[in-house]
Chains A and B, each alone.
Chain A
Amino acid sequence: MSSKPRIVITGLGLTAPNGNSLGEFRANLLAGKARIAVIDVRHMGKHPAGVCDFDVTKWQKRKEIRNGTRVGSISIFCAREALGDSGLSWEKVDKSRVGVYLGITEHGNVETENEVHNLSQFGNDTKYWTHHHNPRTVANNPAGEVTMNMGITGPHYTIGAACAAGNAGLIQAAQMLQLGEVDIAFAGGVSESIHTFGIFAGFKNQGALGAHEDPTKASRPFDKNRNGIVISEGGAIYVLERLDDALARGARIIAEIAGWCINSDATDAVLPNPERQTECVRMALQRAGMKPQDIQIVSTHATATALGDIQECTALRTVFADCPDTRINNTKSFIGHCMGAAGALELAGNLPSFIDNWVHPTINIDELDPECALPGLVINHPIKVPRVDAILNNSFGMLGINSALIVKKYEVA
């Protein structure tokens, strides 16, 4: 990608179940603090879930909140916080040159379920179906709400990529910046999935819904007794710019997008394919001009399903066989699976490693599954390493979508 413009991260806003800023999020990851609640899921009773507690009214009027969606609020909060973090003089920015690219696992389930429930209270007479249904459920809703809140007139859309969506949003933005379609991109991933019982029921009937008497232990990737996914909401949105533009305005550069790959298994709707995952990671490395040994941290996708974790470990064992200094961690053990936001949030929590050289662990491993016993796995406690120059962020999803994104410490070429 040397002939194309270099793309850098210059801002970040997030909300995770255990933090509403990168500082809070990172501190809890290093301290081993999970935060998972127990919520009452419609028709299903109580289940563990990751719930965000950001101040919804910080950036939205109450009418906006009422008419919009939960994921719209998450997106606006993250985008506004990212803008503040970027140091951009917003009033001077040409809003027609700003794009919004948000990854989503799904959208519209929450609003449709709510409206179906509402309709049942009125004898299923559709004259009681809200006129807000369509603007709430169009697939571009989260990104569109951001543009309306911030006055952005450039392109906006969501990228539907199952649980690979967080990476996909960032990749889309980097591509649009390289093409010159926009000058500034707000990109990442968002999710409101804890508010739809259908996602819970689907995973439960698939035998893939995590449970534990202690909700903070319900999400335990790589543990021998793991029993499935803890569904969470959240969001992470980044400000991306071309390096030259960022330097021209004196921006603080958080990291550089080094390489990426998205490919497809073309084999099974839910069971990951380690061969395609291996190819995906290797292609991302090739595009970044890196060898496996150049990666200090691998942020895994592992969701704590019985087979999915093993499949990813198989792929990583293949790619990083000769990399004794590559550390491997997982964020879902702290916050559950934030679905469309997962990849973007999991990358965010690792970015401070470029500065502090700490690698946060994967927690909740009481008995390591031998099939997941990767040599570099950072278990239960953070470790300090000599330096961190590059992070590989894995995010995979249903229908066999794989994404691998590599970010590196910014250095003047």
Chain B
Amino acid sequence: MTKDDIKQVVLGIIADIAPDENLTAVKPEVRLRDQLSLDSMDFLDIVMELRKKHGIEVPEADYVQLASLDSCANYLHPKFEAKGK
């Protein structure tokens, strides 16, 4: 799975948890909170969906790594690779 694929995975999760948001123009380098109406519970939803759908764990100390699409991709890429995805 490429980093671009991972960004699409994260966007897909956000589409489910924040269905009112327009995700067509999300800038990958900008913090998600700065361009979308997401709160702490939403980020916990992202963590939960990664766990449920992909078996990927994000420890609490690493939540900061989910700040933007770019940081998500950089952080999650080795985890997806470790899963053989």
Contact = CB atoms under 8 A, between A and B. Distances in A.
A63 B20 contact: yes
B48 interface: yes
Contact of B41 (A62, A122, A128, A131): A131
B72 interface: no
Contacts of A63: 17-20, 37
Interface string B44-58: 110010011000000
A128 B20 contact: no
B21 to A, nearest CB: 8
Interface residues of A, number: 11
Contacts of A61: 20
Interface in A35-68: 61-63, 66-67
A66 B37 CA distance: 15
B19 A128 contact: no
A131 B39 CA distance: 13
A127 interface: yes
Interface string A123-160: 00001101110000000000000000000000000000
B17 A66 contact: yes
A122 B17 contact: no
Contacts of B45: 131
Interface in B1-37: 17-20, 37
Task: Among A63, A122, A130, find the residue whose CB has the most chain B CB atoms closer than 10 A.
Answer: A63
A128 B48 contact: yes
A256 B37 CA distance: 43
A382 to B, nearest CB: 44
B10 to A, nearest CB: 17
Nearest to A67: B41
Nearest to B20: A61
Contacts of B19: 62-63, 66
Nearest to A121: B52
A131 B48 contact: yes
B41 A132 contact: yes
A117 B52 CA distance: 14
Nearest to B44: A131
Nearest to B38: A63
A67 B44 CA distance: 12
A130 B49 CA distance: 10
B20 A122 contact: no
A255 B22 CA distance: 46
A122 B48 contact: no
Nearest to A61: B20
Interface string A364-390: 000000000000000000000000000
Contacts of A122: 52
A128 B51 contact: yes
Contacts of B41: 67, 131-132
B20 A62 contact: yes
B18 A127 contact: no
Nearest to B40: A131
B7 to A, nearest CB: 21
A132 B44 CA distance: 9
Contacts of A127: 51
B48 A130 contact: yes
Nearest to B37: A63
Nearest to A135: B41
Contacts of B52: 122, 128
A63 B51 CA distance: 21
A127 B50 CA distance: 12
Contacts of A128: 48, 51-52
22 contacts: A61-B20, A62-B19, A62-B20, A63-B17, A63-B18, A63-B19, A63-B20, A63-B37, A66-B17, A66-B19, A67-B41, A122-B52, A127-B51, A128-B48, A128-B51, A128-B52, A130-B48, A131-B41, A131-B44, A131-B45, A131-B48, A132-B41
Interface of B: 17-20, 37, 41, 44-45, 48, 51-52
Q: Which 10 A-B pairs have the closest CB atoms?
A: A62-B19, A131-B44, A61-B20, A62-B20, A63-B20, A63-B18, A63-B19, A128-B52, A131-B41, A66-B19
Interface of A: 61-63, 66-67, 122, 127-128, 130-132
Given A63-B19, A127-B51, A128-B48, 19 more contacts: A61-B20, A62-B19, A62-B20, A63-B17, A63-B18, A63-B20, A63-B37, A66-B17, A66-B19, A67-B41, A122-B52, A128-B51, A128-B52, A130-B48, A131-B41, A131-B44, A131-B45, A131-B48, A132-B41
